Structure 1
């Protein structure tokens, strides 16, 4: 007697379920449509609030290198202390950015980013305009967008500093800065 393996039995069950017609009662269908309508109304309210928001950041922090794998998917760095030549990697979640419609019913959005490295007293030690351009094209107005910035700093004496990233929205005239203090050690 041949007994099917658990895997083949599971595969057979899945195939049967996929082949079966979906039976939904009219009441269930109406409830689902009502729920979808409520969702669309709520999304319209969120979109209106989003448009009125100034550009800002829900979260901005140093993370471990190579750990940003999507929105909310990262490993936070436990300290803001860096050695010369070590990469400062920043993860940020922007809010309030715009969307520019493009062909095919799609949208483009993102940022041009400048940076400064300063002493806490405001003395600028380094910087670059248009350091990075981060953008995305989508069929949806995506609000879960994360940016990751990597900057390697060399030649700073041990001490306290700040890195300032100025982000300029590519789809509107909005801009915002994020400032993260950090320490350099030998």
Structure 2
């Protein structure tokens, strides 16, 4: 059977230095396959160098064109566009122990049972509202809320339009906007009730509503 001699090069401390070992191998007469192996082994070093060169060039090109501030500005623009498609609503609505100190800075109450005369404080975060553009590069966010107190039969015991009126002016199209609504009930019998709020976005004209169930304990 024919013999085939080839040299296998292995790295010896770097790509510039190699140890070469020669082998005599007895093979079946498959010249095309052997030729492929020989070409592969002899060309592996150059192929690896070319691959590393391409990777390095791509890395340098990426680094040269990287602009984190531009990426951030593009992300903020995309966020505003996504916000404009969100339905006007509210999230993270909860009873709190005291008025919040800022957006997301609140203390959940953990109970919806209140004593007579105890303040009922509701925290919430509106989403999907609009921004009214004002002179001097300002934007205004303006929300109003109506409130109804409803008993278990669905009867409205008390209501007030414009119960809350809050707005914010900023040089940014703020998406961190919160509300606190405080209610103190006197003269209402012990029992279970519902707070029905209707939010109005005064910029877009859109409305949203939500309910909070609560219980008024008997006096001690």
Q: TM-score range by the shorter chain?
A: 0.7 to 0.9
Map 1:27-176 → 2, pairs under 5 A: 31=66, 34-66=67-99, 68-176=100-208
Count of matched residue positions in the alignment of Structure 1 and Structure 2: 157
Which whole-Å deviations, capped at 9, do the CAs of 1:10-45 have from their partners, x for residues lacking one?
xxxxxxxxxxxxxxxxx98964xx111111222222
Distance in 1 (CA, whole Å) between partners of 2:63 and 2:149 is 58
TM-score (norm 1): 0.80
Higher relative contact order (Cα pairs below 8 Å, separated by 6+ residues): 1
Q: RMSD value over aligned CA atoms?
A: 1.6
Offset from partner CA, 1:105-134 (integer Å, 9 cap, x none): 001112111100001332101110011210
Aligned residue number for residue 41 of structure 2: none
State the distance in 2 between where 1:148 and 1:158 align: 24
C-alpha distance in 1, partners of 2:80/2:91? 16
What stretches of structure 1 move > 4 A for 4+ residues in a row? 27-30
Look up the SS of the partner of 2:163 in the other structure: strand
Aligned-partner SS, 1:162: strand
Greater alpha carbon shift after TM alignment, 152-161 vs 135-144: 152-161
